[in-house]
Amino acid sequence: MSNNQTPVHHIVIIGGGPGGYEAALAGRQLGAKVTLIEANGVGGNAVLTDVVPSKSLIATAEAANRVSHASNLGIYFALDGKTIKPQMKVDLGAVNRRLLDLAEAQSKDMLAHLVSEGVHVVRGRGRLDGNHHVIITHENGDEERIEAKTIIVAVGAHPRELPDAKPDGERIFSWTQLYSLDKLPDHLIVVGSGVTGAEFASAYASLGVEVTLISSRDMVLPNNDIEAAQVIENVFRRKGMHIRNKSRADKVVNTGDGVEVTLSTGEIVKGSHCLMAVGAIPNTEGLGLEEAGIQLTESGHVVVNKVSRTARANVYAVGDCTTFMPLASISAMNGRTAVFHTMGDVAAPTNMRNVASNVFTSPEIAQVGWTEKDIKDGLVSGYVEKIDLTQNPRGKMLGLQDGFVKLICSTGGTVIGGLIVAPRASDLIYPIAIAVENRLTVDQVSKTFTVYPALTGSISDAARALHRPSD
């Protein structure tokens, strides 16, 4: 190397989940040398044990749900000319093998892409040694110390465990362990009514499993829109789900042939299996972060700014191990933002208000921007319009019994938020997200042609209803 040559910027990434993966690709795009350290497989927990398999399970449950509701559309099953009501059978072992195969295939595809782009992928574990060096513990136990100009921590999180309700992988499960089941539970008790608990409860109920959902709050999905949560809870009850609101699980015991969940009241709820969905803990312990001068919260999350930089200028953190909302989309975006920032490229700070999120229950709940509660609490001024999807022509054709669109605009008519409860709401929220991101007005949205008939027509209807005559 001649004296006038600048050394290549070396980025070391600890963790190969969505954030680490996207950071690695962005680094190579900008000409950096990139080393990615991952212990379990590219894609991390999101691909191997969380997002990919869980959403694949939910997709399977949705297929089963459509079959079970076919009679509502005039479709019946017959044998020898006689109408029958067939018993739905699910081979959970086959389903789970398919899910894990999909996850593994996705991980391999991601690894191949990284390698093809020139990323040096190391199988092992990484920890900081100061803020410019990383120690790699390889699979064989050997250690290697490497220097980095920039370090990105993307280590994710793992399921939180209660002292008296530890998952054993036999009768008591975390959400990462459910895929070992080879047959449907007779009676699944789900402890926790947040997003994870509600999604799995919804999926297993759609597969025909008796489900009891134990929630310490007043209703399921306590952090979501109240009307949306009410719809989901009503659907759950209609499916025969037992919902125990305002109930706290203190203890879960594997009795050998089932489980017993002891509530704080002393009452015992019995089932065949139990899923613990009581939150997540960041994988930041033992990484040498505090020793390197990096600030952590009491819960162990890495404190970062809007471009994912920590208290040390050359150390960034992305994904579920940080103080950002734990969404794969945010993790991926923050991974790219961190690299753009450290490499001097254009780095737009993450605006959490513009992030679309989704709860994969049946129906789904998708939202973006400001909420109706924000308006009621006086955090922002605006108007809300709600359109029931049962009034939508396409909704009638599909036999929808539940769901609605909420569109929220400022007093000046700019779209600032929205919420959709519907099948495939995760897809339907995108036009509202575009409107929020680009500060479109309700008039601009309403003047955009929609297909007729389509569920998106209700978005246009809501925008039209929010029109305010000019003075």
Range in 38-52, 333-347, 350-364 with the lowest mean pLDDT? 38-52
Q: What is the per-residue pLDDT for 27? A: 97
Does residue 4 lie within any of the structural domains?
no
Range in 277-281, 290-294, 351-355 with the lowest mean pLDDT? 351-355
Q: What is the per-residue pLDDT for 56? A: 80
Does residue 389 lie within any of the structural domains?
yes
98, 56 contact by CB (below 8 A): yes
Q: Quickly state the pLDDT bin for 86 (edges 50, 70, 90).
A: low
pLDDT tens digit sequence for 317-337: 999 999 998 888 899 999 999
| R_g of the chain, CA atoms, integer Å | 24
Distance between CA atoms of residues 471 and 467, nearest Å: 12
- For residues 189 and 323, state if they share a domain: no
Does residue 153 lie within any of the structural domains?
yes
Q: Quickly state the pLDDT bin for 471 (edges 50, 70, 90).
A: very low
Residues making up the chain, counted from first to last? 471
Distance between CA atoms of residues 322 and 82, nearest Å: 59
pLDDT tens digit sequence for 227-247: 999 999 999 999 999 999 999
- For residues 206 and 324, state if they share a domain: no
pLDDT surpassing 80 at residue 445? yes
Distance between CA atoms of residues 224 and 239, nearest Å: 21
- For residues 198 and 249, state if they share a domain: yes
Neighbouring CB atoms inside 10 A of 348's CB total 12
Greatest Cα-to-Cα distance within the chain, rounded to the nearest angstrom: 87
Q: Tell me which residue range forms the domain holding 191.
A: 172-278
Strand partners, 421: 365, 404
Peptide bond into 7 cis (omega under 30): no
pLDDT tens digit sequence for 57-71: 888 887 777 777 777
Strands (DSSP E) along 231-373, which ranges?
242-244, 249-254, 259-263, 268-271, 273-276, 280-282, 315-317, 357-359, 364-369
Q: What is the per-residue pLDDT for 6? A: 65
Distances (CA, A) of 104 to 46, 49, 110: 12, 10, 10
Q: What is the per-residue pLDDT for 251? A: 96
| 3-class state of residue 185 by DSSP | coil
- For residues 393 and 269, state if they share a domain: no
Helices and strands (H, E) in the chain, number of each type: 13, 24
Count of domains for the chain: 3
Does residue 426 lie within any of the structural domains?
yes
Question: Where is the domain boundary, 254, 278, 302?
Answer: 278
Does residue 127 lie within any of the structural domains?
yes
- For residues 236 and 104, state if they share a domain: no
Distance between CA atoms of residues 344 and 415, nearest Å: 32
CA atoms within 13 A on the CB side of 262: 10
Query: Which tokens sit at 287?
Result: 């990484």
Enter the DSSP assignment of 303: P
pLDDT surpassing 50 at residue 72? yes
Does residue 75 lie within any of the structural domains?
no
The proportion of the chain whose per-residue pLDDT surpasses 70, expressed as a percent, equals 97
pLDDT tens digit sequence for 381-414: 999 999 999 999 999 998 899 999 999 999 999 9
Distance between CA atoms of residues 358 and 145, nearest Å: 41
Listed as own residue / partner, the contacts of 196-200 with beta carbons closer than 8 Å and 24 or more positions apart are: 196/277, 197/275, 197/277, 198/232, 198/359, 198/361, 199/54, 199/58, 199/359, 199/360, 199/361, 200/54, 200/57, 200/175, 200/275, 200/277
- For residues 311 and 341, state if they share a domain: yes
Q: Which amino acid is at 185?
A: P
Peptide bond into 363 cis (omega under 30): yes
- Across all residues in the chain, what is the average pLDDT? 92
- For residues 379 and 331, state if they share a domain: no
pLDDT surpassing 80 at residue 176? yes
270, 239 contact by CB (below 8 A): no
**Sign of torsion over alpha carbons 330, 336, 341, 347:** negative
CATH number of the structural domain spanning residue 124: 3.50.50.60
Distance between CA atoms of residues 243 and 240, nearest Å: 9
Q: Which amino acid is at 237?
A: R
- For residues 256 and 143, state if they share a domain: no
Does residue 457 lie within any of the structural domains?
yes
Distances (CA, A) of 379 to 325, 371, 384, 466: 20, 10, 14, 20
Distance between CA atoms of residues 27 and 332, nearest Å: 13
pLDDT surpassing 70 at residue 2? no
Does residue 139 lie within any of the structural domains?
yes
- For residues 285 and 368, state if they share a domain: no
- For residues 342 and 262, state if they share a domain: no
Strand partners, 260: 253, 270
pLDDT tens digit sequence for 90-138: 888 888 898 888 889 999 999 999 999 999 999 999 999 998 999 999 9
